[in-house]
Amino acid sequence: MNDQLSEKIQESRRGFSKSQRAIARYLQDHPEEVAFMTASRLGATVGVSESTVVRFATEIGYSGYPAMQQAVQEMIRNKMTSFQRLEMTSRNIPQEKLLDAVLGQDIDILRRTREGMNSEEFYRAVEHLVEAKRVFVLGAGSSLALATFLAHYMQLVFDNVQLVEATSEAQILQQMVHVNSEDAIIAISFPRYSKKAARALQYASSQGMTAIAITDSMASPLAQSASHVLLARSDMVSFVDSLVGPLSVINALIVTTAIRKKAQVTRVLERIERIWDEYGVYEKVEERNS
């Protein structure tokens, strides 16, 4: 069991009621199931009320059941296969509740991302980023989608942006062979952490680059080599890793750097709009009179 979670239970165990001891025992014996259970489902399984489950979470030091469940998810995240995650979700959440469960979890992820963000660190990262001569963006696995999105918009802000192809370490290093202290890299990775992203950031740091990590924890291997660490929550939604937290941080990074380079970005956007109009890139939708 997660050391911190286990310590919280041990510290509070003497004051547990019979019902709370039953919850603690089930949590310790079946963490992979609790990770996907609602408070009411856990209560029904153990034979206690939903309110007892919620009180148990606060009794051991969490703000509520979602915070305790998130600690359980972090504990098992690197241990469960995608198939096991899907099976647990299917077993513990009724199909008619899946929409509410997923949307509710994403809302909670955004809230905790905002609460955990160090705004001073964010703006320091922006200041170093806007001074960079070149910007490299790297993401592997599911984080590749985030990296592609970030690189697409950063190309409107900076003259020289490169999305690093992360098919192999050799290819990554080859694309970064000419980097120097005037350059910056933004690397994105969440559990299960990409070894390639961690090593690329380590190399970037050794070359004096501004190394910005977007990840979920200071214990992340990316954080060890980063000049700036932007933390975002990324929890499990069945076999899918929710990326709404890091995507929101990326949106904030794009907007803030664009405002810092407003004059340049305005010229680029005006030119692009003229090109789009000239070549009819987008369909024009005319408003209909009601």
Q: Are the C-beta atoms of 204 and 185 separated by less than 8 Å?
A: yes
Q: Where in the chain is the domain with CATH 3.40.50.10490?
A: 118-278
* Amino acid (one-letter) located at 131: E
Fold that domain 3-93 belongs to in CATH? Arc Repressor Mutant, subunit A (1.10.10)
pLDDT, mean over the chain? 89
pLDDT of residue 80: 66
Domain with CATH 1.10.10.10 in the chain: 3-93
d(C-alpha 191, C-alpha 236), whole Å: 10
107-162, pLDDT tens digit by residue? 988 988 999 999 999 999 999 999 999 999 999 888 999 999 999 999 999 999 99
Q: What is the CA radius of gyration of the chain?
A: 23
* pLDDT at residue 14 in the model: 83
Q: What is the structure's pLDDT at 120?
A: 97
CA distance 219 to 215: 10
pTM of the model: 0.75
- Of the options 3.30.930.10, 3.40.1440.10, 3.40.50.10490, 3.40.50.300, the CATH number for the domain spanning 118-278: 3.40.50.10490
Tell me, what's the pLDDT at 290? 55
Strands (E), the chain: 135-139, 161-163, 184-188, 210-215, 228-231, 236-237, 240-241
On the question of pLDDT at 1 being above 60, the answer is no
What is the rounded CA–CA span in Å between residue 178 and residue 175?
8
